[in-house]
Structure 1
Amino acid sequence: MRILLVQTSFLGDTILSTPVIAAIKNLFPHAELWMMTTPLSADLVRRDPLLAGVIRMDKRDRDAGLSGLLRMSRRLKSMAFDRVYSLHRSYRTSLLLWLARIPLRIGCRDAKGSFFYHRLKARDLTQHDVMRNLSILSGECEIDQAFAQMRLFPPNATEVNAELKHALPPVGRYAVLVPGSAWRTKMWHWEGYREVARYLLDRKIGVVILGGASEKAVCDQVARNLDVVNLAGCGTISEALFVMQHACVVVCNDSMALHMASALKIPTAVIFCATSPAFGYGPWQNRATVIEKKELPCKPCRRHGSLRCPTGTEACMRGPDASAVIDAVRQLMGR
């Protein structure tokens, strides 16, 4: 049997989907399991020993538009999958899997184009997203904590750029700060991150700053004139995994970095600005402290944040005091 698992959303969503890999293999131990995801997310899952392979769907470039949709549907059809589990709920994904003529298509009840699926599974929005993803297998196996472990496999040292390795502080003697996010209203103010960095440096704890190319400006603000290793805009997702797995603590926003730290079981201080962990995207199975300003009448404003503050005050982004974050970091490090 050949099975396809689909998740083509954000990087964090891919990490939150990884428990489904082990759950499917437990259900069908002899099946050949493939995963379809974005080119960036492919770097997160390509080392998983339970996957036979990863299909990269570049929906913003090569696989965009009608021609890209048809080309990908032909590719999936040629691979002769017997069934597909789709965690992605877009109309485009539903149509793609129907065009691929996969004999058994299983999707979420709240998916757009749900009529393209043979079976629909309900998601309990009161649960953490890890458990919501596992519900795609409800009725086929028992959904419990046994399958709730997120799966990430960092590269070994030989796969990592030598200059990056030499730039890092000693293993276990540095903190990772991730000030950016895809959504601006999820980003705690950069001055706060600078205060946290100073606190750590004063105590001889190294500081490594991670972020994508689009987050380089805010990371540069945090790093300015501080003795930190600023890797923003450098390296790959795999190298970010390598860096984070050796950290003693992570400080980040409600972003992909939170889920990466949860999967790697790194103690984490996470700042929730416009969003809320009540939406099901909080820390999972690692030592973590959530810091947020709860008394704001406008918070949370959106499930996934937005590019600008709807009230213009940015109160949630500036709300948590740096001392609260520093105190969380101190306790997480046992100091």
Structure 2
Amino acid sequence: MPEKILIIQTAFLGDLILSTSFFHAVKMEHKESEIHVLVNLGTESVLDQNPDITKVWCLDKKRIKKNPFFFLKFVKKLRSERFDKVYSPHFSYRSSLISFFTKAPIRIGYKESGFSFLHTKVIQRPKQGPHEVEKLFSLLFEPYDFPTGRERQPYLYPGTEEESSFALKKSKLIKNDSGYILIAPSSLWETKRLPEEKFVSVITQILRKRNETVILIGSKADIEIQNHIFRLMKTEPLELKERERLLSLVGQTSLKELMVWIQNATAILSNDSSPIHFASAFNTPTVMIYGATIPAFGYGSLSDKHRIMEVNGLNCRPCGIHGGRVCPEGHFRCMLDQNPVRIFEALEEVIKT
């Protein structure tokens, strides 16, 4: 019987994407094993066609909160799999409980996780310093054995259906052969968002000084941000042929379709959010904008060509691991002091280098 391993990662989408390098490392270390992965419902499509994974389990957090009996039924089903080992890179109380209830003889997690005493082995997870992938690798390797190079980057596998959809849509939308630059103006947390006015300034510089098409990306929840940007763009001094090179795919792509658009982009400009990690999987040149959070948290780009844009010298940064809804100091200088000219220059740097 092959060894059965469960990896619990029910965090945000970006965390799951970064964890694919860990899934790959586990598979390489346990080549004959079955690798099962537990994720948050709604994020599972990014694991489609991943050869390192035997089975994906989806946890419906909303249903569990409404009905605790569903949680018990779910963990009972997991226990019936008779896992030999569980890795828990997610450090919530719920994840530790799930790991414990599997009754796997080996359960490895972080010392800082909720109910960490339920693990059979704990590894210290520093809040700042190492990149997130190094923190993940610490559950499996000693530091001197951490994978390097390509094996640090995420593993995503868009399918032929998404590639065909991309080719068809691209041929209809983009009228020149100069490539395109993606702009991801949103984030789940408001204090991680560069104001739309500053994105407009950067977009205007791209359209006036470069030849690429500019494409906004995001989910359906980001439609209002898209609309605000388009409203502001109307007052910018641009020629019609320049305006025609600003497009939007906000709310129009699945996660797997978004993979292909990011894979083929000339570059991407994004807040500290999941598009950065999509780009890392395909080594797409990246410019990252940091506000409430800091690169030292370990969620920066793993693309070879990248630049970090942040306002230094603010003793209020970081104001939280995820950011927040409003600036706790009331001034929001971490974003309002960002320089759009410098952001544009950073974009040109990652494209040229």
- Match for 2:29: what amino acid? L
Matched, 1:333 2:351: yes
The aligned counterpart of 1:276 is 294
- Match for 1:10: what amino acid? F
Matched, 1:308 2:314: no
- Match for 2:226: what amino acid? C
Residue 52 of structure 2 aligns to a residue whose secondary structure is: coil
Q: Bigger CA drift: 274-283 or 7-16?
A: 274-283
Does the 8 A contact of 1:265 with 1:285 survive in 2? Answer: yes
The aligned counterpart of 2:48 is 46
Matched, 1:220 2:227: yes
The aligned counterpart of 1:297 is 315
Matched, 1:137 2:140: yes
What TM-score results when the alignment is normalised by the length of structure 1?
Answer: 0.92
Cα–Cα, structure 1 residues 167 and 134, in superposed 2: closer, same or farther, change >3 Å? Answer: farther
The aligned counterpart of 1:179 is 185
The aligned counterpart of 1:198 is 204
Q: CA RMSD, aligned part only? A: 2.2
Q: Which runs of 5+ in 1 are unaligned?
A: none
State the alpha-carbon separation in 1 of the partners of residues 158 and 330 from structure 2. Answer: 40
Residue 136 of structure 1 aligns to a residue whose secondary structure is: coil
Q: Which runs of 5+ in 2 are unaligned?
A: 235-242
Residue 137 of structure 2 aligns to a residue whose secondary structure is: helix
Does the 8 A contact of 1:171 with 1:247 survive in 2? Answer: no
The aligned counterpart of 2:73 is 71
State the alpha-carbon separation in 2 of the partners of residues 326 and 123 from structure 1. Answer: 35
State the alpha-carbon separation in 1 of the partners of residues 55 and 288 from structure 2. Answer: 33
State the alpha-carbon separation in 2 of the partners of residues 63 and 155 from structure 1. Answer: 34
Q: Given the alignment, which residue of 151, 155, 158 partners 1:154?
A: 158
Residue 107 of structure 1 aligns to a residue whose secondary structure is: strand
Matched, 1:253 2:271: yes
- Match for 2:112: what amino acid? D
Measure how far apart 1:5 and its partner are. 1.1
State the alpha-carbon separation in 2 of the partners of residues 4 and 26 from structure 1. Answer: 15
Structure 1 segments, 4+ long, off by >6 Å, are none
Q: Bigger CA drift: 146-155 or 214-223?
A: 146-155
State the alpha-carbon separation in 2 of the partners of residues 238 and 31 from structure 1. Answer: 27
Does the 8 A contact of 2:18 with 2:153 survive in 1? Answer: no
Q: Bigger CA drift: 69-78 or 160-169?
A: 160-169
Identity of aligned residues (%): 30
Matched, 1:243 2:264: no
- Match for 2:17: what amino acid? I
Does the 8 A contact of 1:190 with 1:218 survive in 2? Answer: yes
Residue 106 of structure 1 aligns to a residue whose secondary structure is: strand
State the alpha-carbon separation in 2 of the partners of residues 64 and 174 from structure 1. Answer: 44
State the alpha-carbon separation in 1 of the partners of residues 227 and 118 from structure 2. Answer: 46
Cα–Cα, structure 1 residues 164 and 39, in superposed 2: closer, same or farther, change >3 Å? Answer: farther
Q: Bigger CA drift: 49-58 or 64-73?
A: 64-73
The aligned counterpart of 1:317 is 335
Cα–Cα, structure 1 residues 253 and 140, in superposed 2: closer, same or farther, change >3 Å? Answer: closer
Does the 8 A contact of 1:188 with 1:271 survive in 2? Answer: yes
Does the 8 A contact of 2:64 with 2:71 survive in 1? Answer: no
State the alpha-carbon separation in 2 of the partners of residues 74 and 313 from structure 1. Answer: 50
The aligned counterpart of 2:240 is none
The aligned counterpart of 1:266 is 284
The aligned counterpart of 1:7 is 9
Matched, 1:102 2:109: no
State the alpha-carbon separation in 2 of the partners of residues 250 and 129 from structure 1. Answer: 21
State the alpha-carbon separation in 2 of the partners of residues 124 and 318 from structure 1. Answer: 30
Does the 8 A contact of 2:83 with 2:102 survive in 1? Answer: no
Cα–Cα, structure 1 residues 54 and 171, in superposed 2: closer, same or farther, change >3 Å? Answer: farther
Q: What aligned pairs does 1:18-97 form with structure 2 within 5 A after superposition? A: 18-61=20-63, 65-97=67-99
Residue 60 of structure 1 aligns to a residue whose secondary structure is: helix
What TM-score results when the alignment is normalised by the length of structure 2?
Answer: 0.88
State the alpha-carbon separation in 1 of the partners of residues 325 and 136 from structure 2. Answer: 26
The aligned counterpart of 1:208 is 215
Residue 61 of structure 1 aligns to a residue whose secondary structure is: helix
Measure how far apart 1:65 and its partner are. 4.2
